[in-house]
Amino acid sequence: MRVALFITCVNDTLFPGTGKAVVSLLRRLGCEVDFPAAQTCCGQMHVNTGYRTEGVRLARHFTEVFAGYDAVVAPSGSCAAMVREQYPKLARPGSRGAAAIEEVAPKVYELSEFLIDVLKVDDVGAYFPHRVTYHPTCHSLRGLRLGDRPLRLLRNVRGLELVPLPGAEECCGFGGTFAVKNPAISAAMGADKTRNILDTGAEVLCAADNSCLMHIGGTLGRQRAGVRAMHLAEILASTEEAR
């Protein structure tokens, strides 16, 4: 099985640690990934902000870069949802673009989907002795319908104390460019999300999307709350030897 890693532009630029964690985790599970260097971005920011032409160009590029792989792993619920849910709507039915999308899109998996549905593991042999609470992120929850996949993975991490997050299903307030176009509401939503997180007494806030984590973590940081925001991949990659 030829597996490619879609690192995503946010992770590539700001959170390479998440990418390294995915590579190391999958290697530990016996799965080597390719990193096609020509990859850039799924186009979500442009499409969702109303710049369809640029977004479609990026989508086309994506389908070209990842053609021919059996699976594409993306450590981002929103990017995986963009490809699987929104790409089919971007191309004219019957066009070459539509065919390319039909070929690639179903093969794109968010990390927890790949682990559970493709590699068929829910215990990745991780060790992470901290109290953790998990925020499901909107694309993961309502777009991809990840369900309890991430929680199953976290529950099998040795030493990890998982505590439920109140109001988990409420949006954190990131919303892409929403965070800067409607900053007051974004901040208000972030304030409520961080309050719920602090109420759990958790040391770590975990999610499957660094874009949301950037917003929640940035808000926690500004509050000097002392709670760390970590991507799911980095917790799952954690072992006694490598933390």
Residues that bind another protein (CB under 8 A): 7, 9, 11-17, 19-20, 23-24, 27, 33, 35, 37-41, 43, 45-52, 54, 57-58, 61, 86, 89, 138, 142-143, 169-171, 173-176, 178-190, 214-215, 217-219, 221-222
Smallest gap from residue 85 Cβ to another protein (A): 9
Q: Which is nearer to another protein, 162 or 225 (CB)?
A: 225
Q: Which is nearer to another protein, 122 or 170 (CB)?
A: 170
Smallest gap from residue 137 Cβ to another protein (A): 9
Q: Which is nearer to another protein, 160 or 193 (CB)?
A: 193
Smallest gap from residue 172 Cβ to another protein (A): 8
Residues 224 and 100: their CA atoms lie apart, in Å, by: 47
Q: Which is nearer to another protein, 35 or 158 (CB)?
A: 35
Q: Which is nearer to another protein, 143 or 150 (CB)?
A: 143
Smallest gap from residue 159 Cβ to another protein (A): 23
Smallest gap from residue 53 Cβ to another protein (A): 8
Q: How many residues does the chain have?
A: 243
3-state SS track over the chain = CCEEECCCHHHHHHCHHHHHHHHHHHHHCCCCEECCCCCCCCCHHHHHHCCHHHHHHHHHHHHHHCCCCCEEEECCHHHHHHHHHHHHHHCCCCCHHHHHHHHHHHHEEEHHHHHHHHCCCCCCCCECCCEEEECCCHHHHHHCCCCCHHHHHHHCCECCEEECCCCCCCCCCCCCCHHHHCHHHHHHHHHHHHHHHHHCCCCEEEECCHHHHHHHHHHHHHCCCCCEEEEHHHHHCCCCCCC
Q: Which is nearer to another protein, 1 or 184 (CB)?
A: 184
Smallest gap from residue 52 Cβ to another protein (A): 5
Give backbone dihedrals phi and psi of 158, rounded to 5 degrees, phi first.
Answer: -65, 135
Smallest gap from residue 175 Cβ to another protein (A): 3
> Which positions ≥6 away from 64 have C-beta within 8 Å?
38, 100
Q: Name which of 208, 168, 157 is nearest 15 in CA terms.
A: 208
Q: Which is nearer to another protein, 138 or 160 (CB)?
A: 138
